[in-house]
Amino acid sequence: MNDSHNPESSRSTLAATVGSFLVFVANAFAQETAGVVEVARVIVTGSNIPTAQEVGPNPVDTYRPADIEKLGIRNATDLTTFLPQQAGGAVNLNFGSTGDGTVQFNVRGLLPKETLVLVDGKRVAFGSLNAVGFSGGVDINLLPFPMIDHIDILKDGASAVYGSDAIAGVVNFFLSHKFRGLEIGGSYGNTNLGASNDMGEWEAWIKAGTGDHKTEIVVIADFWERTGGLFSRDRDLTANAFYIPWGGFDGRAFGTPGNLVGFRLLPRMFFGPPGLPRFGVNTPLPHSAPNAQTSPFYKNPFAVNPNAYPGAPGIHNPRVQFDQTGTKYRGGGDYFLYNFAAITPELPPADRQSFYGSFTRDLCDKYLVLFADFKYVRSFFDASASAVPIIPDPFKIPGTNGPFSPRAFSVPIQNPFNPFTVADATIPGFFSDGSGLPVTTGVGFRGINDTGTRHEKFTYHDYLFDVGLRGEMGEFGDYFKTWNWEFGFRYSRNEGQNLSFGEVSEPGLREALLDTDPATAFDPFLNFNAHNTRAARAKVYVTLHNSGEYELPIGYATINGDLFNLPAGPVSFALGGEYDAPRWTLDRDALNTTFQSIGSTNGGNARVNRDVWSIYQEVRVPFTSPTWNFPGFYSFEVDFAEREEWYSQNTSAVLPSADFLFQPAAHSQFNAQKPKVSVRWQPLDTKYIGALTLRGSYTEAFHAPALSEISPASTGNPIGIFDPLLPELGFYGAEGQVTGNPNLQPEVAYEWSYGAVYSPKWIKGLTLSADWWHIDMRSITSLLGSQFIVDNDIPGLVFRGPSPSPSTPGRIFLVIDPNENLTGAIFEGLDYEVIYILDSSIFGHGDFGRLTATLNGTWLSRAELQVRSDIKRFGIAGEVVPPGFSLTGSLPWNRANFSLFYDGPADTWMRGLDIGAVVHYTGQYEDDNVSLTGSPKPQMPRSGGVPDFGEIRARKVREWITLDLIASYTFNLPPPSSAQVPGFAKDDGKNFNMKDGKLKNVMPISTAEYNPCGWRAWLNNTTISVGMQNVFDEDPPFVAAGGYDGSIATIKGRFWYLQLKKKF
């Protein structure tokens, strides 16, 4: 690993420090100290050594299902949207057009690949449909909340404990392994009480468990569905991609029917009748004019008053796509540019079905325990977008796969619908006899009425299987009574399928454009409302099938326990080894692998496998403790951890296709060794000032390149470039291909944190915590960027077509952008939390219930990005990071949640009452002002810009504050009383003489009970919950790129829900 830090030095120093210390204490304290009462010890995320401490050396937040509900969080998307430690750049189900149906954590905003997600402390398979050259993460949407016992979020690096990816933090989902009885639950919610119209979400689950002191069996089934969907048009903020009135860009699209570069059909024909092509009615007369300038059916759109067909109200602004003069520009409606937001979804339909089973059997009095788990989840997500724009040109520069027309596409003069008689270009040598093909270039079209919206239907099948043995070792003697061991096997597999409906086949489109029969030829000159014939549509539009598989077998063994006692307590250790063998396969449709589809992501098939061998060790040394200490060091312990990993990976060969060259199979190796030192310090006994714990750590972490990042295959998409050698062309279209790199090295990070947790003696129920963290990342995998590659004319990455003359270079038709270890970043900030529990009984006037107030937040103090080693770092904290920087998205300075809940008093009918409110807060931050102002330097987006760019209008993204209300009641009915039952007569009892001489009639004990099927039995242990998210129906703040940031906000608005849960 190419590290500026010497790993061998780290290993030697750590080993020498720990080893010399243990030798010293072994000699000094050969006789064990007297035993103390042991408290139950458990393994907490961030360490492999069990502990009984309530506050450990690592900053860990634990969320149980009840805690999650009290945050107003209903699903995995809400979890990633509202947790303060999350930042922009995450993936979730808020992305209706560009999402892939997965939900991925993005702690600190360093992208999902830098956050390690575990299930029961072990890795699981990644999503299987990652694109080559890009990385992803674990899909937490495949972990339904009814299956979860609790979630640990470690806000610190932990590669010394868990290995790769644990840079920004670790999110550990613990599944339910113990449950008694039967629970049936369901919930339904909808957005129909706000401005978002009708979108419903329902969930139903059943949980059953049984067991005894030796056996635990748990079975869970869960079903979730989002129905109807929420569309962009449902909210003012997203109803129109004409964002200039909001302070953004005009995001509408060019390639619509009736559209030529610089020309439109006359308005009366553009908005003319729908249906099949009718010459002179909804499509121009064929071959009726030499060109658009002389055609009676076309006109320069800017000769028409833009306000004749207004879009959203707006003002004249330099960020329009075309110059406007004479009138105030109001967008011009669809006549000028296509508002695709009128038909696209924001929150599309989705569903999920999940099944889980857990079995634990104590075979030999805790010395030998068998465990096995199985989970299966199917999820579906229906992403959809506007109809495919026909770009790039299906006709190519001879001898290349580059588009012949630099803008839009070409239509042969022979096409029966072409209204022109004179070609503006000829494709040389097109026919077998060497003759050229005369064409009209710059034609724009998308099948708005041919296909409607295109759909990307994602289906995932996810499997998880665990089996293993664990036990205690006390049978070997008293020395081993604290020792525990475990070894096991995990197999996880993610299978993904993507069906792309309404895509365009380049061969089919070429054939239909060359066709001379009006009954079967394709008409790209239609108006805005008409559609092509069924025969033409059948040639052009196709459904593409892409699939992927990601499997991860894991074998592991671990042991932990106490080595020997010091005066302050036992020296504990953990030791283990692990073998991981991830395999990833991506199978693309034949049109994608040959780069002959339009609208879908083209690229090669991928086959990558990896073998990872790991060993880890950890030692915890108590220097002082409550049983042996001195002033200022009531309790002080240090934890040393280290992990070594050896990587070996193989990538399959990629066959040549279109412009993509043959890539041979590759093999690479690297290793990583990362230490961590953590300190936990209690200066004083709690009897003086309360419980004060100081903690801190230093760690080195890393991220091994994802399998999708090292495949030599490519991912291709159309790009726009400015060619310095051909400035007269302005921006024009080319093919861009992002490639993986088998020779990538791990990303590395150097991190430290320190903080405190304090529960003051004088204010009972108050707990304060704060942790300062710092992450210094290096060798981050990044892309150079196609424009940078073109500007520097990097050899082997820029490909040009034939030169039209000796002095004129050919047009660029292909730019290859490989992954490289290029980027560095420094992030630091403060996490804080305040919890106050006010128990009314402390006032001495009885129990009136309990108030719980919680504040949890984060402040991003510093974020600096270095895009290449030869460029100085620049600040990105508190702003939307420009899309060209492949690191993150929105980085607000401040995010926080505040909640206040009231629980009813015990021993009354109100004891089941739980009611409260949650406020979610995201502070103000800067928009992408680098792009908005055209600043040449990211450091000065408000003070500089390109002189001819026009008006500089930097802007801020406003704060976003939403209020959630939640109320629940659990019926806990008292057992039937033994009061007199109607029908007993007084004489039926027995009379006894009392001491005062009076007779007392004692009734016989009633054996009557309430009907076990009656309403009381059904009501008992039933919980009814009602709630409302975003009570005031607040829109998310406007962000110039796309209207709002769906990774840290949601467009759904006011959402009410009702939940019913019954336990038997």
Q: Check: CB of residue 399 under 8 Å from CB of residue 802.
A: yes
Q: How confident is the model at residue 952 (pLDDT cuts 50, 70, 90)?
A: low
Segment 280-300 mean pLDDT: 94
- 582-617 burial: b if 16+ Cβ within 10 Å, else e: bbbbbebbebbbbbbbbbbbbbbbbbbbbebebebb
Give the residue from 450, 491, 488, 452 showing the smallest Cα distance to 471: 488
22 has a pLDDT exceeding 70: no
Asked whether residue 1026 carries a pLDDT value surpassing 80, the answer given is yes
pLDDT of residue 9: 43
Average pLDDT over residues 955-962: 94
Query: Which of 355-369, 663-677, 853-867, 978-992 is predicted with the least confidence, judged by mean pLDDT?
Result: 978-992
For 132-141, 318-327, 574-583, 686-695, which range has the lowest pLDDT when averaged over its residues?
318-327
Query: Above 70 in pLDDT, residue 1003?
Result: no
C-alpha–C-alpha distance, residues 457 and 545, integer Å: 10
CB atoms under 10 Å from CB of 129, counted, come to 25
pLDDT for position 786? 85
| Cα 717 to Cα 446: distance, rounded to the nearest angstrom | 17
Tell the burial category of 720 from Cβ atoms under 10 Å away from its Cβ (0-12, 13-18, 19+).
middle
The mean per-residue pLDDT over the stretch 497-515 comes to 96
Contact 336, 303 (CB under 8 A): no
Is residue 35 over pLDDT 70?
no
Q: 10 Å Cβ neighbour count for 88?
A: 21
Q: What is the pLDDT of residue 1001?
A: 55
Token pair for residue 841? Answer: 């009984």
Higher pLDDT, residue 471 or 243: 471
User: How confident is the model over 465-489, as a mean pLDDT?
Assistant: 94
Dihedral angle over CA of 791, 796, 801, 805, nearest 10: 70
CA-based angle 359:365:367, to the nearest 5? 85
Residue 42: is its pLDDT beyond 60?
yes
| Contact criterion met (CB below 8 Å) for 336 and 253 | no
Nearest to 2 by CA among 749, 748, 612: 748
Q: Would the pTM count as exceeding 0.85? A: yes
Q: Average pLDDT for residues 1035-1053, to the nearest whole number?
A: 90
At residue 885, does pLDDT exceed 90? no
* Amino acid in position 311: G
Residue type, 220: I
The predicted structure's pLDDT at residue 1016: 73
Across 695-704, 734-743, 891-900, least confident range = 734-743
Give percent above pLDDT 70 in the chain.
87
| Complete DSSP assignment for 980-1014 | PPTT--GGGSEEEE-TTS-EEEEPPPP-----TTS
Q: Please, which pLDDT band fits residue 185 given cuts at 50, 70 and 90?
A: very high
Helix (H, G, I), strand (E, B) or coil at 809: coil
pLDDT averaged over every residue in the chain: 86
Cα–chain center distance at 795: 36
Q: What is the mean pLDDT of residues 334-357?
A: 92
pLDDT(1015) > 80: no
Over the stretch 398-449, which tens digit does the pLDDT of each residue have? Answer: 888 888 998 899 999 999 999 999 999 999 999 989 899 999 999 999 999 9
pLDDT of residue 1018: 79
Residue 489 has pLDDT above 60, yes or no: yes
Distances (CA, A) of 608 to 491, 782, 816: 18, 20, 21
273 phi/psi in degrees, rounded to 5: -65, 150
Q: What is the mean pLDDT of residues 832-837?
A: 96
Look at residue 108 in the predicted model and tell me its pLDDT: 92
- 781 token code pair: 């995998």
Residue among 627, 791, 772, 656 nearest 714 (CA): 656
> Model confidence at 994, in pLDDT bands (50, 70, 90)?
low
Does 283 score more than 70 pLDDT? yes
pLDDT-based confidence at 186, cuts 50/70/90? very high
Average pLDDT over residues 147-173: 95
The answer to which of 687-691, 713-717, 862-866 has the lowest mean pLDDT is 713-717
**End-to-end C-alpha distance for the chain, whole angstroms:** 56
Residue 996 has pLDDT above 70, yes or no: no
Stretch 963-979: mean pLDDT, rounded?
79
Residues constituting the chain: 1064
pLDDT surpasses 60 at 977: no
Give the range among 103-107, 923-927, 944-948, 954-958 with minimum mean pLDDT: 944-948
* Residue 182: per-residue pLDDT: 95
> Any idea which of 295-309, 616-630, 730-744 has the lowest mean pLDDT?
295-309
Q: How far apart are CA 959 and CA 957, in angstroms?
A: 7
**Count helices and strands in the chain by DSSP H and E runs:** 14, 48
| Number of Cβ within a 10 Å radius of residue 399 | 11
Q: Is the pLDDT of residue 311 over 90?
A: no
Tokens 């928009």 correspond to 927
Q: What pLDDT does residue 5 have?
A: 44
C-alpha–C-alpha distance, residues 56 and 34, integer Å? 24
**Span 733-781, pLDDT tens digits:** 888 888 888 999 999 999 999 999 999 999 999 999 999 999 999 999 8
The 10s digit of each residue's pLDDT in 522-549 is 999 999 999 999 999 999 999 999 999 9
